[in-house]
């Protein structure tokens, strides 16, 4: 029985990964990030819970390294500054913990990269709205709920066709690792 459950879990992940083979938005996101990092812009990445840790993980791979030693890339995880997060949540509302940071440090043509498994995270949505107003490039990594992001005219929507949070998060990590590897190779050879 346990072996059958494990087989089912593995099979569901294989289906998701196979669907990603055809997902051209991953490469569209890589090209967008690469082109604006080359111009001196930075990437602001954010999310909640597991997506918060993936934001930090992705930013550190860009700033430090993925496979080889190289110059750092300008990436900031908006999830990492506890003072900012708690003061904004306390003084205003948790909905604004990322958007106020985007407003403070985001510049035109920077990349605003939201991660949300549900597609309903109010603070991620608010940050993307502010990013659009400030003319930042916008990317969202989400589950299968994409309608709101399409209405917001997010530049690149990378969707994982699932509503199972752990499955989505596992696919997100795979996508973020793929992005980090491709960016490192294409920018530093």
> Which CATH number is 180's domain given?
3.40.50.10490
Range of the domain at 50: 23-188
pLDDT-based confidence at residue 86 (cuts at 50, 70, 90): very high
pLDDT interval class at 22 (50, 70, 90): confident
Per-residue pLDDT tens over the stretch 113-164: 999 999 999 999 999 999 999 999 999 999 999 999 999 999 999 999 999 9
* Domain membership flag for residue 7: no
Number of domains in the chain: 1
What's the pLDDT at 186?
95
Q: Do the domain assignments include residue 1?
A: no
147 lies in some domain: yes
Q: Is 8 within the bounds of a domain?
A: no
Structure confidence at residue 184 (pLDDT): 97
> Is residue 4 one of the residues assigned to a domain?
no
Answer whether residue 135 is part of any domain: yes
Per-residue three-class SS string for 79-138:
CCCHHHHHHHHHHCCHHHCCHHHHHHHCCCCCEEEEEECCCCCHHHHHHHHHHHHCCCEE
């Amino acid at each position: 029985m346990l072996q059958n459950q494990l087989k089912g879990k593995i099979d569901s992940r294989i289906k998701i990964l196979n669907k990603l083979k055809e997902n051209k938005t991953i490469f569209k996101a890589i090209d967008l990030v690469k082109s604006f990092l080359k111009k001196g812009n930075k990437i602001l990445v954010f999310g909640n819970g597991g997506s918060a840790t993936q934001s930090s993980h992705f930013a550190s791979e860009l700033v430090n390294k993925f496979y080889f030693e190289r110059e750092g890339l300008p990436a900031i995880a908006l999830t990492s500054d506890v003072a900012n997060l708690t003061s904004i949540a306390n003084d205003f509302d948790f909905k604004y913990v990322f958007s106020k940071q985007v407003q403070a440090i985001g510049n035109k043509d920077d990349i605003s990269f939201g991660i949300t498994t549900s597609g309903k995270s109010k603070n991620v949505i608010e940050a993307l709205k502010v990013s659009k107003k400030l003319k930042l490039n916008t990317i969202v990594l989400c589950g299968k709920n994409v309608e709101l992001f399409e209405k917001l005219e997010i530049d690149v929507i990378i969707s994982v066709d699932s509503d199972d949070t752990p499955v989505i998060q596992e696919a997100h990590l795979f996508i973020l690792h793929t992005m980090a590897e491709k960016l490192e190779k294409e920018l530093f050879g």
